[in-house]
Amino acid sequence: MQSFHPPNRVLMGPGPSDVPSRVLKAMAQPTIGHLDPAFVGMMDEIKTMLRQAFCTDNAMTFAVSAPGSAGMECCFANLVEPGDEVIVCINGVFGGRMKENVERMGGTAIVVEDNWGEPVSLDKVEAAFAANANAKLLAFVHAETSTGVRSDAKALCQLARKNGALSLVDAVTSLGGIELLVDEWGIDAIYSGTQKCLSCPPGLSPVSFSPAAADKILSRKSKVRSWFFDLSLVMAYWQGDGARTYHHTAPVNAMYGLHESLVMLHEEGLQNAWGRHADMHQKLKIGLENLGLEFVVEEQYRLPQLNAVKFPDTVTDEAAIRKDLLQQHNLEIGAGLGALAGKVWRIGLMGASASDANIDKCLSALSQVLAKQ
């Protein structure tokens, strides 16, 4: 066995995205103890910068020491008790994972289903609340990574609050890429990932909980089913004056990387980052349509950072094209998932991957491999 040397890819799939050299260099710094005062100080800075990225003042804002899927489980484990009724919106793969989490926590999932590629229907959610007055939580995906569709998070959270329920939002592909206003929209619990628009390697999950969600967690009648994700224990490590209570050994060098990526987001400016993703999407859109590719999602609901496109009828082997892109051009794009498997490509414009150079390379490479097939 010898040391591993990965190929240098251009990452334009559904994640991870390209990681800037600044972030990689930050992660290569010397490892220190996870209770070292210097590391604890950096944790506080991560919390501050995450609040800025989420546009929230929530005290309970931090990074779960695991990928975005763990952030999802953390939220459901703390907010759902056995017997709780939860309205779950499914319009793609990740809404389905929300339902699975509700059921594993002993809750009852009341499903609101929409076609893949369409946003969550406000009318259907309102009807679900009318038929289920005891629903305690509304869970939905803001930016559905499997289809590239954006749902109206603000309106959905208003519906939850109107009906006396908390809201839980999947923002794995949202954070840093499109407008996301946790406090203004009334989001109670939210989770994301580092490997999408933050352009940090996968492995951490930023989360935030409103005071109402924190009250729900503190007033639970039963223990959280997961010891690792029990926030009553985790937060003793992430907050408090002076010494922190040991809970787990945090991934120190991964935290360095997240810190640096958040510094870079702060330097660019959050609204500037949103604008860059929107501008790059428009450029990619023109190029893809010139190649004969059609978008799955209507323009008004389309995510700029995740572009699901149908390939031309002349394409007989879409997997072979993705393979050629990877092997001949060092370019990664994503395949379809679930109901869209074998029907679409998912082209990511997330974080550092949302650049003119990447778009030019992607369009040139696609043009070549499509002509070849």
pLDDT value of position 338: 93
pLDDT at 243 over 90: no
| 42 pLDDT more than 70 | yes
Q: What is the mean pLDDT of residues 96-112?
A: 98
* Cα torsion 170, 171, 172, 178: sign: positive
Which is nearest to 199 in space by CA: 350, 10, 318?
Answer: 350
How does pLDDT run across 158-212, given as a tens digit for each residue? 999 999 999 999 999 999 999 999 999 999 999 999 999 999 999 999 999 999 9
Residue 80 pLDDT > 80, yes or no?
yes
The CATH class given to the 10-14+269-372 domain equals alpha beta
pLDDT at 240 over 70: no
Tens of pLDDT along 281-321?
999 999 999 999 999 999 999 999 999 999 888 898 999 99
State the pTM of this model.
0.97
pLDDT value at residue 56: 98
User: 354, 351, 12: which is closest to 172 by C-alpha?
Assistant: 351
The 10 Å CB-count burial string (b at 16+, else e) for 326-357 is beebebbbbbbbeebeeebbbbbbbbbbbbee
Maximum Cα–Cα distance for the chain, whole Å?
Answer: 64
Q: Where are the domains of the chain?
A: 10-14+269-372, 26-266
Based on its alpha-carbon atoms, the radius of gyration of the chain, rounded to whole angstroms, reads 21
Asked if pLDDT for residue 275 goes beyond 80, the answer is: yes
Please give the pLDDT value at position 112: 98
Check residue 175 and give its pLDDT. 98
pLDDT exceeds 80 at position 241? no
Domain 26-266: assigned CATH number: 3.40.640.10
Domains 10-14+269-372 and 26-266 share a fold: no
Give the pLDDT confidence score for residue 242 in this predicted structure: 58
